[in-house]
Amino acid sequence: MDKLNIKVNNNFNLDKVIKELSKNPLLTNIDINIDNLNNCLILVDENNNCKKCPGLANCPNTQKGYFTAYDNEKLEFVFKSCKLKQAENITNKENELIKTIYMPKTIREADLADFNLGSEERKNAYKMVVNFITNYPNSKGLYLSGSYGTGKTYLLGCLAKELAKRNISSLLIYFPDLIRELKDSLKEDRFSNLMNLLKEIDVLMLDDLGSENMTPFVRDEILGPLLNYRMADKKPIFISSNLTIEQLANHLTITNDLLDKTKTMRLMSRISQVCNLCYIGKKVF
């Protein structure tokens, strides 16, 4: 039914208008009268707009993504969201659950369906990520190793998106930039705020560990306490690195001092307790 074009003049016939509106199936259960006439007209008009939907951005209704309906139980007119608006709300909620710091847009929009399965190593990495999602929270994170360009960061982005669909929050952060940020904010509230975020987020993902300049401060005051806290609280952590686990041990060992080596061994033990090893393969692009 097209929108009624009612001209208010001396010839206006309310009964005729109400009779015409009553023929519309959308208004079957409504007692149409002068008090609700305008709402009835809007309801018909907006539902007709929805039938010719021009897309959410160009929605002509009173509130974009919503249409007027009638609640037969409450006996009142209400706003309802359309399928496009509902999908947008879900996407927005998922995006709120995914926190990324120093990550490009391509990673934030990564999709597991697009992950390259061109080798046995990549198939295995994919399988381990899916297993983690399926068994969360009763599953360990991963230490993803492989050369530059193998898609380690992309896979972490895929994981973040899949977790968000399940209402699980995650933080994906580029580790070298994280260290710079923490060093710059040592005497400010944002240091403790960021450390608390790293500790409390459901799933933490540290990208490119090993490409930073390792120092006792980074190892003993940031990485160590962070791993200890998340391990004690049973919160998963994912780590990606161009280094094998053996090379990482060398990277974390700053001197040949026995105490220094002991700290490295303790840290490597923590990583093995919170992460399964996963080699993703050689460069594919």
Kindly state the average pLDDT of the residues 201-222: 93
What pLDDT is recorded for position 8? 47
**Which residues, at least 6 apart from 113, have a Cβ–Cβ distance to it below 8 Å?**
none
The strand pair at 203-207 and 170-174 is best described as: parallel
Q: What is the CATH number of domain 90-281?
A: 3.40.50.300
What pLDDT is recorded for position 5? 46
What residue spans in the chain does CATH classification 3.40.50.300 cover?
Answer: 90-281
Total H helices, total E strands in the chain: 12, 8
CA distance 18 to 30: 11
- Top pLDDT among 3 and 66 is at 66
What pLDDT is recorded for position 165? 87
CA distance 81 to 85: 6
What pLDDT is recorded for position 3? 42
Answer yes or no: is pLDDT of 152 > 90: yes
- Top pLDDT among 200 and 92 is at 200
Q: Phi first, then psi: give them for residue 186, nearest 5 degrees.
A: -55, -40
- Top pLDDT among 206 and 41 is at 206
What pLDDT is recorded for position 97? 60
Where residue 13 falls (left for φ over 0; alpha for ψ -120 to 50; beta otherwise) is beta
Answer yes or no: is pLDDT of 1 > 70: no
Kindly state the average pLDDT of the residues 72-84: 86
Reading the block at residue 273, the tokens are 């307790």
What pLDDT is recorded for position 11? 57
**Which residues, at least 6 apart from 156, have a Cβ–Cβ distance to it below 8 Å?**
107, 110, 144, 172, 205, 207, 238, 240
pLDDT single digits (tens) 133-149: 999 999 999 999 999 88
Answer yes or no: is pLDDT of 200 > 50: yes
pLDDT single digits (tens) 157-193: 999 989 988 989 999 999 998 898 888 887 777 788 8
Give the closest residue to 197 by CA, choosing from 93, 272, 101: 101
